[in-house]
Structure 1
C-alpha cells in the first residue's frame, strides 16, 4: 500500500498596485501636459501610453488576478486596454496606418468609447469607496476626465470640457504618484508611512 502525501505550495506575489498606479501616474502626467498646452504633439506621448499606461497596468492586472483581487484585476486591466486603444487611435490620427483611416476617422466614435468608460469608472468609483480614500479620489478624477473627454469628443462646449479633462488628468497623475509611493513605502517600512485613508464603511464594515 503506497502512502501518498499531498504538498500544498503557496506562491507569494508582491502587491502590484504600486507599479499599476505608477504606470497610470506617468502616462496621465505626460498626456495632461499635452492637453494643457505645456507640450505639443502626440508623437512622444504614444510610447508612454503603450508601455506605462498599457503594459504596466496590464502587468498589475495579471498579478492582481493571482491575488484573487477581482477589483484590481478588472480596473488595471480595463484601463490598460484603454491606453492600448488610445495609442492606436492617436496613430490613426497621425496617419501612421495610412491616409484613408486618418481622413475617415470620426471623433464621435471616441465619444461613445469615452462614455462607455465613464459608466464603467462610476461603477468602479463605488467599489473604490471601500478600498481606500486615495484610490477613491483617483477614480473621482477619472470620472471627471471621462466626462470632459466625452463632451469634447461630441463637440459640446469643447473648450470647457477639454480644459476640464486636462486638469482632471493632471489630478489623476499627482494622486497616483502618491498612491504608488504609499503602496511601496507602507509595505517596505511595515507601517503607515504615507496615509491613504480608511474605507468609507458605507457598503461594508470597516476592517
Structure 2
C-alpha cells in the first residue's frame, strides 16, 4: 500500500503569513507590540515554520526546507531581540544594528527569490515583496523615518496576505482534489 504524506507547506506559509500580517499591522501604526504578536512570533511564525521546514527536508525539498526553517528562526530571533532587554539578558539593540539585521535577512531573501524562478507567480510575489519589506525596514531603522516604517507596514501586510493566500489555496486544493484558488 502506497502511503501518502501531507504537504507541510501550507502550515509554513500560514505561520509566516499570519504572523507577518499581525506584525505589520503594528508597523503600519495601528497597535503596539503586544504578547499577541510575540506569541505568534514564537509559536506559529517560529516553531510551526521550523517544523514545516523539517518535514520539507524529509520530502527532499531543499528550497522549502531552507525557507521555512530560516524564516522560523527569523521569528524566534526577532522575538528574542524584543524580549531579551526586558528580561535583563541584554541591552536593547540599537536601531542601526537592527537595520543591519534586517538588511542581511533582505539579502538572504533576495537569493531565495532567485530560487523561485519557474515556480508559481504567487510564490515569486511573496519572496519579491519580502525583499522589499526587509529593505524598507532596514532603511527605517537606519534613518529613523516613521513614514518609511508606516509604508513598510502596509507593504508587509500585503506580503503576509499573499503567503496566507497561497497557504489557504494549497489546503483547499488538497481538500477538494483540484485547484480552487489560482496560484
TM-score over 0.5 for the alignment?
yes
Partner of 2:22: 30
Q: 2: CA distance between counterparts of 1:170 and 1:12?
A: 34
Q: 2: CA distance between counterparts of 1:162 and 1:19?
A: 28
Q: 1: CA distance between counterparts of 2:20 and 2:88?
A: 25
Partner of 1:202: none
Native 8 Å contact 1:42 1:90 kept in 2: no
Residue from 28, 36, 39 that aligns with 1:47: 39
Native 8 Å contact 2:28 2:152 kept in 1: no
Alpha-carbon deviations, 1:130-172, whole Å to 9, x = none?
221111101111011101111112126x223212320121012
- Larger CA deviation: 117-126 vs 34-43: 34-43
Alpha-carbon deviations, 1:11-58, whole Å to 9, x = none?
642111100011012111211121112212333311111011101110
Q: Root-mean-square deviation (CA), in Å?
A: 1.8
Partner of 2:127: 139
Q: 2: CA distance between counterparts of 1:154 and 1:42?
A: 24
Partner of 1:204: none
Structure 2 residue matching 1:44: 3-state secondary structure: helix
Native 8 Å contact 1:23 1:56 kept in 2: yes
Alpha-carbon deviations, 1:68-125, whole Å to 9, x = none?
00000001111011000100011135x2235x623xx322222111111111111111
Structure 1 residue runs of 5 or longer lacking an equivalent are 1-8, 197-207
Which of the pair has the greater relative contact order for Cα pairs under 8 Å at 6+ separation? 2
Structure 2 residue runs of 5 or longer lacking an equivalent are none
2:164 equivalent to 1:177: yes
Native 8 Å contact 2:57 2:65 kept in 1: yes
Q: 2: CA distance between counterparts of 1:177 and 1:195?
A: 13
TM-score by length of 2: 0.92
Residue from 135, 140, 144 that aligns with 1:152: 140
Larger fraction in helix: 2
Residue from 61, 71, 88 that aligns with 1:69: 61
Partner of 2:87: 96
Partner of 1:107: 95
Cα drift, residue 10 of structure 1? 7.2
Structure 1 residue matching 2:91: 3-state secondary structure: helix
2:52 equivalent to 1:60: yes
2:152 equivalent to 1:162: no
